[in-house]
Amino acid sequence: MRRLVDRLLAAGGVQAGRLRTCGVDRGADVSLDDLPRLPFVTKQDFWDHYPFGMRSAPAEDVVCVHGSSGTKGRPTLVAYTARDVDVWAQVMARALGGAGVSRRSFVHCAYGYGLFTGGLGVHHGATRLGATVLPVSSGATDRQLRLLLDLRPNVLCCTPSYAVYLGEAFASTGITAEQLSLRVGLFGAEPWTEEIRVGIEGLLGLRALNIYGLTEVIGPGVACESLDSEGLLNVAEDHFFPEVVGPDGRPVPDGEPGELVFTTLTKTGTPLLRYRTGDVAALSGPVPGSARTLRRMTRVLGRTDDMLIIRGVNVFPSEIEAVLLADPRVAPHYLVVEDRRDRSRPELRIAVEPRDPLGDTGSLERDLTAALLARLGIRCLVRVLPPDHVPRAVTGKAQRLVRWEHGV
Ligand code: ADP
Ligand code: K
């Protein structure tokens, strides 16, 4: 923590200015306990100081640059030093190791390679561990299916929506989960629910674990479920110190959801003090009695900027997903439309696909409307579309929320 603060002060950027305003002139003045009184840094700061204003290392120490995909607004760029890439490889090797991956494993990495951190993050971790990694990247699904059958990998890494897509593609050609070689998968980069997990595990015959990260902090590997983490994600707390804060920026107690904030204790290229992620989750302690001593977090419940406020009720799209997919008649493809064309009466319109194209759509629409009303307290307009009518995310992150504004 001291070194981080000294590094930020020496770099003399935005974060140094804010620290000085708070009366901090040297790292020796602060410890982790002081975090709640120190300033935040946000995505807006990255945009305001685009491209490299948030960098703390000299340009000659930078070895690569990655960018967030810009799911919300403009992309941001992050500069990594060799040491940062080393930390990244280490936390990703740890994430893979916790999933049972070893030197004998074969990893099919279908996250995108490029500016996006998914592909290269898994790649660095797998090679650090000594496993074999196939850098197949995303897209070209026919080739992916062929390679999954020919090379018989035991580990799959991709977004959960792409895992569903691959699984359904196999099912449609008559290949069953038993015929596949996969044992475990690390799925992340977008929110997903328990219902999707059950679906992926059934389609692909593997254990599906949740991995979380974001470019500004390092990429994937900030937190990851392990075979023994009991449904929560182990946070790489020794590198990325987590806090959870309320809308007022004050810390909330463990177990209560709020916005995740990370302090990068060891990064040198773009070190961040109290980065507000916009992701909502809750923190908790390690599994009692476990050899793992680092803290854990829940799955990400949603993003602060994805929260829908419909007629006074707050809803995350993931809650809608949980209700929809709890019904066995619904396929794991849906779209939520926040319709604000009539300002006086905003509506939530939801499109789903049935598993059985010949099923009774009228009763499915009625049952889903009732289940959503019971769980969320709002009446939604549910439409069951014919199969293949909800758009699929074939390469990147699934886009499951659309906003229709007044005048558009
Ligand atoms: P962008 O914000 O443009 O999508 P990134 O590609 O860096 O940028 O993605 C990071 C974001 O992806 C996180 O802030 C979070 O919202 C989401 N994310 C990553 N992993 C998960 C996960 N396992 N569950 C839910 N959301 C995730
Ligand atoms: K090997």
Domains and CATH numbers, the chain: 80-302 (3.40.50.12780), 307-404 (3.30.300.30)
- For 169, phi then psi, to 5°, come to -65, -40
Shortest-distance ligand to the CA of residue 101: 2
Residue type, 196: I
Cα dihedral 364, 365, 368, 370 in deg (nearest 10): -110
Mean pLDDT of the chain: 95
Query: What pLDDT is stored for residue 391 in this prediction?
Result: 87
CA gyration radius for the chain? 22
Percent of the chain with pLDDT over 70: 99
Query: What pLDDT is stored for residue 224 in this prediction?
Result: 98
What is the 244 CA–ligand 1 centroid distance (Å)? 16
Nearest 5 degrees, angle CA 176-CA 177-CA 182?
A: 140
Shortest-distance ligand to the CA of residue 106: 2
Residue 276: HSE in the Cβ half-sphere, 13 Å Cα cutoff:
23
Query: What pLDDT is stored for residue 408 in this prediction?
Result: 54
Q: What SS3 state is found at 113?
A: coil
266 close to ligand 1 (CB < 6 Angstrom): no
Query: What pLDDT is stored for residue 72 in this prediction?
Result: 63
What digits encode the pLDDT tens for the residues 359-373? 999 999 999 999 999
What is the 111 CA–ligand 1 centroid distance (Å)? 13
Q: How far apart are CA 83 and CA 317, in angstroms?
A: 37
Quick one: 344 exposed, middle or buried, by C-beta within 10 A (0-12, 13-18, 19+)? exposed
Q: How far apart are CA 324 and CA 118, in angstroms?
A: 28
What digits encode the pLDDT tens for the residues 77-121? 999 999 999 999 999 999 999 999 999 999 999 999 999 999 999
184 close to ligand 1 (CB < 6 Angstrom): no
Residue with the two structure tokens 């009692």: 288
Query: What pLDDT is stored for residue 57 in this prediction?
Result: 97
Shortest-distance ligand to the CA of residue 262: 1
What digits encode the pLDDT tens for the residues 227-275? 999 999 999 999 999 999 999 999 999 999 999 999 999 999 999 999 9
191 close to ligand 1 (CB < 6 Angstrom): yes
- Alpha carbon 309 to chain centroid distance? 22
Q: How far apart are CA 138 and CA 136, in angstroms?
A: 7
384 close to ligand 1 (CB < 6 Angstrom): no
**Does the structure's ipTM exceed the value 0.95?**
yes
